[in-house]
Structure 1
């Protein structure tokens, strides 16, 4: 069995971060979300991995390499334009050959792995298996209807009037039967080859399409809010460690990981939280559900329920919460009266200010 990992797309909901970085490489608990998927695949015994890339191909290849660090063999498959998930299967046809495969969306985050799912698929070998989960707003996802035996009866992509609350999770398992479906379908109204249409084709041609409803944690990390929630969930399993320098005037409360080379001075860190290597936290409070990347500076500030990416500086900025702060960002307090906010804000940014 092979794996097809999708790492293309524009990441429009995570702009402006994705103007300069692939959305699959934005970190959760200081590890790129893409790495969680690769590790889950290898743990499930799938080590032959094809990564479908787009405009951020060079960055993805630099981060993942040949896959050996994960115990995998990685092949890169360029997708000229983001024309849909089924289109990714189409461009990977030669590499996939006639093998069964897992298709894994690189910005999806699942706690608990997929080992049991892969084992069940290998044992039962339906033509396709999809993962489903109940969601509050099904209209934002592909939605499935099941028959009494748990098989897929109907699929619809982002329906205006959903017939169920079961959304497709971005992990699919296929036999080579899916290639006939991908060849047969036509682009949707938004100009993409939809994987939901391909699976629906299998259903209509009486192929066996089964479903697994998961109750564990899953997030499509396509938005800042989803990233923060996934970060919170990942940090719940944090193993505390004090590998860096923490002075006697500082407090570490709960599960806190201070990476090697990090420095904490006269500060209070309340876990779950991680302070990346080379970062310096001085006269500050870092609260729960916060990950601070490598080489950051936090001075005279309060930060909680946030993701702070590498080399960001937060200095005398008051209290920051529920924020996603990009690499090399610099946030400072206003130095003098009259009190005012002074901002340099890029395209597609979102800023929330309280007076």
Structure 2
């Protein structure tokens, strides 16, 4: 069995963060979102993974993942010239998938509980596809599955205008080669795309068995800034205390990860917090659910429930930074410090100066 990770798209909902990076590489818990997808496939024993990339961010994705040796897998990269739908991405990757079953994983999804039960639901020769579902409050934003009284899938609809079902497809699918035959018959949807929901519906219409499994744990579609912060919270909530860096005259409470090479001086930390190598925390307060990236700096400032990416800096802030995301090498500083709050989203290499009150 092979893996297929989709890592294209333009990430318009995450701008300005995605003006300069692939959305799948935005860090969550100080790891790229894409890394978690690779882990889930690898944990299933899948070693050959096809990665679909886009012209805009493909090089960055390849540089991050490499040949796969760091993950214990082998990557093959396929360029999808235009974002013409998930089924089109499968069609593009078909020459590299061959006639084997494969697990398709959207690279900006994040879930716990693993996907091993998806493989357990697959029975060779009996099952054409297995899909993961989860109940959502806003099904109109997703492809949804309508289930009959026995819990079997009766039909699938992409982003329904009216409520038909609370069960959303989460972006992890197990397909047999039969899916390729259906995709060859598809016509573009009103959005101009080849929809994977239409392809799965085609399997059902042709009389093949499509099974569904529910997500075990939680699932996040990390398409918007608030989703990233919530995903970061969920990942950090599973953190275990690990202090490998330097801590001087500081108070640490809760589950805190401080990587080797990071320095914490004269500061108060309330976990869960992840602090990457090379980061410096000095005369500061860092509150729960905060990720501090490599070589980032928090000095004479307070921050909580936030993500600071590699090289980001906050200095001398008069208010606490809360529910914020700072891109790589973004800088935010002020001239005095009080206990209120700021909330910002800064793209890479941005700068903000704020006056005290």
TM over 0.5: yes
Separation in 1, partners of 2:290, 2:203: 44
Equivalence for 2:209: 208
Alignment of 1:233-312 (within 5 A): 233-247=234-248, 249-312=249-312
1:125–1:175 CA contact under 8 A, matched in 2: no
2:24–2:34 CA contact under 8 A, matched in 1: yes
Alignment of 1:149-188 (within 5 A): 149-188=150-189
1:150–1:210 CA contact under 8 A, matched in 2: no
Change (3 A) 1:124 1:113: farther
Separation in 2, partners of 1:114, 1:124: 21
Aligned with 1:4: secondary structure?
strand
- Tell me the TM-score normalized by structure 1: 0.93
After the TM superposition, which parts of structure 1 deviate over 6 Å for at least 4 consecutive aligned residues? 343-347
Change (3 A) 1:124 1:28: farther
Equivalence for 2:122: 121
Separation in 1, partners of 2:171, 2:81: 21
Q: 1:278-323 CA distances to partner (integer Å, 9 max, x unpaired)? A: 1111111100011100001101111111111000010112201111
Q: Is there any run of 5+ residues in structure 1 with no aligned partner, and where?
A: none
Q: CA deviation at 1:344?
A: 11
Q: CA RMSD in A?
A: 2.2
2:153–2:212 CA contact under 8 A, matched in 1: yes
Separation in 2, partners of 1:313, 1:277: 14
2:30–2:276 CA contact under 8 A, matched in 1: yes
Equivalence for 1:135: 136
- The range that moved more, 297-306 or 111-120, is 111-120
Separation in 1, partners of 2:216, 2:242: 31
Q: CA deviation at 1:335?
A: 6.6
Aligned with 1:159: secondary structure?
coil
Separation in 2, partners of 1:320, 1:286: 10
Equivalence for 2:43: 43
Separation in 1, partners of 2:327, 2:290: 14
Separation in 1, partners of 2:226, 2:305: 11
Q: CA deviation at 1:183?
A: 0.7
Change (3 A) 1:300 1:335: closer
Equivalence for 2:101: 100
- Tell me the TM-score normalized by structure 2: 0.92
Q: 1:173-192 CA distances to partner (integer Å, 9 max, x unpaired)? A: 11111011111111111111
Q: CA deviation at 1:239?
A: 1.9
Equivalence for 2:30: 30
- The range that moved more, 80-89 or 123-132, is 123-132
Separation in 1, partners of 2:239, 2:347: 33
Separation in 1, partners of 2:77, 2:295: 30
Equivalence for 2:334: 333
Number of residue equivalences: 345
Equivalence for 1:226: 227
Q: 1:237-274 CA distances to partner (integer Å, 9 max, x unpaired)? A: 11211111111x21110001111111111101110001
Q: CA deviation at 1:11?
A: 0.6
1:309–1:326 CA contact under 8 A, matched in 2: yes
1:89 and 2:105 equivalent? no
Aligned with 1:163: secondary structure?
coil
Separation in 2, partners of 1:346, 1:134: 32
Separation in 1, partners of 2:141, 2:345: 32
